[in-house]
Amino acid sequence: MNHMNLKLLSKASPKGWKQRFTKLFRDLSALRGIQPGFILTYILKYNWYVRQADPYPIWAGITRVFDTYVWICVALSVSLASLIFWILALYSRAENNYNNIFYCALNSWGVIINVGVTMPRGKLIRWVFFIWIIYCLCINTIFQTFFVSFMIDPGRLHQIDTFDEMNDLGYELLSTQSEGFFYDFVGKTRHGLRHVLNEQNAVMLALESSNRSLFINEQLFTRSYYDLCGNNITYRFHKLQGYESFYHMYIMFSNPHIGGKFSKILSQYLQAGIPNMIINKICDPKGTLSLTKRTPVNLEEEYVTISLIHLQSAFYSFIILNCFAIFVFLCEIAIYRLRA
């Protein structure tokens, strides 16, 4: 570098700040009077990072499978089936087990949860009972399928994804970037900003509390975490979308004779992705440390709560199987009468 008369400078590019934008190019224009040219070598991207949301409790999957209206419909269907069984049992003298409305409700719920119940004796009430079994089969199959999926991956609670959410919840804001950071965020926070000079100290503070957010470069974040914890990932972090800041790294040179050739070499160097490869090798030598996994913010990104619209196919199957059950029931009556 000394033999080629080169100088390495770091300049923060502005984002939405006109004064900084003007000041930056004034500085570059002033430098051009002394240094004939400059070449962009690397861009550091800074983002907000918060702790990844905690997973749902496994037992919460029981209530998360169905929408509220579906649970209401299931409860109403159990009540309606119990009432029908009880009314039919009153007109059937042979049905002693279904004369109690409470016993009818227990039998109706037992069919849903796949518990064996006493089979009714009367033809009419047995026909209604078969319809109820088919209905419960449709509902229970869907419920068990999604509930098992929630047992394997229960999903996560609400993920903080905006600067306003962090501000409203009183997050402590940490930054390892000084100039560009304060210009972009000063006056937008209610709880103040905290500048941390050392990246490892900033990462340590972010690991100590889930109520802290960190504004840092991803490569520096990964390297600092690796130096502190190695490959033992205790907590993962979520990268907020937007609110980004960039640091542009320039090489300033004063020898005009090497400017064109040096610019071509560096452009090919950047296009080949060599700077990114070097940074990744330094920050994560083994390539196994993944801290900033993008967390699904909405439930629609992982699972969809089943609503009445999603149950259309189940009800279509319910109607078809009902027709089949009626056909089998009529065939049974016909065969019984022919034998009699």
pLDDT one-digit tens code per residue, 244-282: 777 777 777 666 677 677 777 777 777 777 777 777 777
The pLDDT of residue 286 = 63
The pLDDT of residue 298 = 40
Whether residues 180 and 91 share a domain: the answer is no
The pLDDT of residue 80 = 92
Whether residues 315 and 330 share a domain: the answer is yes
Can you list the pairs that 78-85 forms with residues at least 24 positions away whose Cβ atoms lie under 8 Å? Answer: 78/105, 78/108, 78/109, 78/112, 79/105, 81/108, 81/128, 81/132, 82/107, 82/108, 84/128, 85/120, 85/125, 85/128, 85/129
Calculate ∠ Cα 28-31-35, nearest 5°: 125
The pLDDT of residue 30 = 39
Name which residue leads in pLDDT, 162 or 302. Answer: 162
Whether residues 47 and 160 share a domain: the answer is yes
The pLDDT of residue 38 = 66
The pLDDT of residue 209 = 79
The predicted model scores a pTM of: 0.53
Residues 48-75: tens digit of each pLDDT: 888 887 777 767 666 776 777 778 888 8
pLDDT-derived band at 311 (thresholds 50, 70, 90) equals low
Whether residues 70 and 101 share a domain: the answer is yes
Mean pLDDT, the chain, integer: 71
* Within a domain: 324: yes
Whether residues 160 and 150 share a domain: the answer is no
**Tokens encoding 148:** 């098992």
Range of the domain at 222: 6-55+156-301
Kindly state the percentage of the chain with pLDDT values over 70: 63
Whether residues 68 and 26 share a domain: the answer is no
Whether residues 271 and 133 share a domain: the answer is no
Whether residues 49 and 63 share a domain: the answer is no
Residues 69-99: tens digit of each pLDDT: 778 888 898 899 999 888 888 887 666 677 8
Whether residues 62 and 74 share a domain: the answer is yes
Residue 122 predicted with pLDDT over 80? no
Nearest to 47 by CA among 230, 180, 235, 229: 180
Whether residues 105 and 161 share a domain: the answer is no
Whether residues 97 and 192 share a domain: the answer is no
**Position 49: which residue type?**
Y
For helices 68-91 and 101-112, what crossing angle results, to 10°?
Answer: 130
Structurally, how many domains does the chain consist of? 2
* Within a domain: 202: yes
pLDDT-derived band at 148 (thresholds 50, 70, 90) equals low
**Tokens encoding 175:** 């930054």
* Within a domain: 1: no
pLDDT-derived band at 152 (thresholds 50, 70, 90) equals low
Whether residues 148 and 226 share a domain: the answer is no
